[in-house]
């Protein structure tokens, strides 16, 4: 019997898989994703999985008419392959974390009556998860009262790194592994003032922007830790006293677990504007700041940097339940026949 884990495309989805699988011990694990996105980068060499499958699939949203038809055909082909995988590995349960990578296997689970557990990362439900919610054996979301597990699956190291921030000695800019031009530009604009204040800069510029951003800092005469994709994110967050970041779910909850006060600048083109609603969830609890990308105001940013960090930091320590990934892993174990 095996547990199939599927979904991805972006780091936010994949981080869920990574966090949960750490608590599945010696269970037979199968990963099913896509050749598009970051799936292969994260898991192609991961020895925790008995087998890995990457389908030629892509998203349907934001495609033209012919593009949508082609995407659906690719998905249908992958779905039939997924049915074979479920039977070959005698799957007991499928964990879907959403994203276009998850569609073929999630539908295959429905067609073969394989128990389906869905994890929704965002405050605004993704299209696929919303469609499949009625058919899921369990639907998990930190934002829904009816969820069987409210804790978000954050790796334990982020909780271990939690500390109260009282003053800002280090700022981290997080635009995701692909980078965020607006956050990069903001970082470079305020960097001279940060230097005057003696504030260290850590900057996730994106894999395609590293050289350009590094050069810009050099021109400004400013030392900064600049990176793209990294497996040291927990360490970087631990060092930071304040963050300016996108508000993808995993980033948001990891920063919260580490108790880092954060100004969120949501990706404006995220499906259903889910990054905005993720951040709004914390803003309504007075635990974060939120600024639209098209309304970035440098003076307001400096005003925020002068606010009380300690209150926000202490509050964040109580907003995230621990053991989310462990609880999801246990639920999956209980479903193995």
pLDDT tens-digit series, residues 238-267? 999 999 999 998 899 999 999 999 999 999
pLDDT of residue 26 exceeding 90: no
One domain, residues 165 and 311? yes
pTM of the model: 0.80
What is the structure's pLDDT at 173?
98
- pLDDT tens, 150-201? 889 888 899 999 999 999 999 999 998 777 999 999 999 999 999 999 999 9
CA distance 120 to 324: 13
pLDDT of residue 62 exceeding 70: no
Could you list the residue range(s) of the whole structural domain that residue 66 is in?
A: 2-153+322-334
CA distance 240 to 231: 16
CA distance 253 to 162: 12
One domain, residues 206 and 248? yes
pLDDT of residue 278 exceeding 90: yes
Q: How many domains does the chain have?
A: 2
Q: What is the mean pLDDT of residues 12-38?
A: 91
pLDDT of residue 63 exceeding 80: no
CA distance 109 to 86: 8
pLDDT of residue 105 exceeding 80: yes
One domain, residues 126 and 23? yes
What is the structure's pLDDT at 216?
97
Q: What is the mean pLDDT of residues 201-223?
A: 95
One domain, residues 116 and 191? no
One domain, residues 261 and 230? yes
pLDDT of residue 269 exceeding 70: yes
Backbone conformation region of residue 22, classed left if phi is above 0, alpha if psi is from -120 to 50, else beta: alpha
Give the three-state DSSP class for 189.
helix
- 273, 276, 260, 266: which is closest to 309 by C-alpha? 260
What is the structure's pLDDT at 336?
87
Q: When comparing pLDDT for 334 and 322, which is higher?
A: 334
Q: What is the mean pLDDT of residues 78-96?
A: 96
Minimum mean pLDDT range among 126-130, 132-136, 198-202, 316-320: 126-130
Distance of CA 290 to the CA centre of its chain: 18
Residue-wise burial string across 67-82, b where 16 or more C-beta atoms lie within 10 A, e elsewhere: eeeebeebbeebbeeb
What is the structure's pLDDT at 337?
62
CA distance 200 to 45: 34
Token look-up 């631990």 returns 238
One domain, residues 259 and 164? yes
Mean pLDDT of the chain, nearest integer: 92
Q: What is the mean pLDDT of residues 10-28?
A: 88
One domain, residues 283 and 326? no
One domain, residues 307 and 328? no
């Amino acid at each position: 019997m095996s547990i199939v884990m599927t979904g991805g495309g972006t780091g936010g989805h994949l981080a869920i898989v990574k966090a949960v699988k750490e608590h599945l011990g010696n269970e037979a694990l199968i990963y099913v994703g896509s050749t598009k996105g970051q799936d292969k980068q994260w898991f192609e060499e991961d020895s925790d999985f008995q087998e890995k499958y990457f389908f030629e699939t892509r998203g349907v949203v934001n495609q033209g008419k012919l593009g949508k038809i082609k995407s659906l055909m690719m998905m249908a082909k992958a779905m039939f392959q997924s049915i074979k995988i479920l039977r070959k590995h005698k799957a007991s349960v499928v964990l879907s974390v959403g994203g276009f990578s998850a569609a073929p296997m999630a539908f295959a689970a429905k067609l073969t009556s394989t128990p389906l557990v869905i994890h929704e990362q965002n405050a605004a439900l993704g299209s696929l998860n919303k469609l499949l919610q009625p058919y899921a054996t369990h639907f998990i979301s930190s934002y829904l009262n009816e969820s069987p597990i409210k804790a978000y699956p954050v790796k334990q190291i982020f909780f271990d790194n939690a500390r109260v921030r009282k003053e800002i000695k280090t700022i981290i800019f997080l635009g995701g592994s692909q980078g965020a031009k607006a956050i990069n530009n903001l970082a470079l604009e305020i960097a001279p003032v940060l230097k005057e204040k003696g504030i260290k800069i850590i900057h996730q510029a994106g894999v395609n922007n590293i050289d350009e951003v590094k050069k810009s800092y050099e021109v400004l005469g400013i030392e900064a830790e600049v990176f793209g994709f990294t497996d040291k994110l927990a360490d970087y967050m631990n060092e930071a006293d304040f963050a300016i970041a996108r508000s993808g779910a995993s980033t948001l909850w990891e920063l919260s677990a580490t108790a880092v006060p954060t100004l969120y600048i949501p990706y404006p083109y995220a499906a259903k504007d889910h990054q905005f609603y993720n951040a709004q969830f914390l803003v309504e609890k007075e635990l974060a700041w939120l600024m639209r990308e098209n309304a970035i105001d440098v003076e307001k940013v400096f005003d925020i940097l002068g606010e009380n960090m300690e209150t926000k930091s202490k509050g964040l320590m109580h907003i995230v339940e621990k053991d989310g990934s462990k609880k999801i892993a246990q639920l999956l174990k209980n479903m193995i026949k």
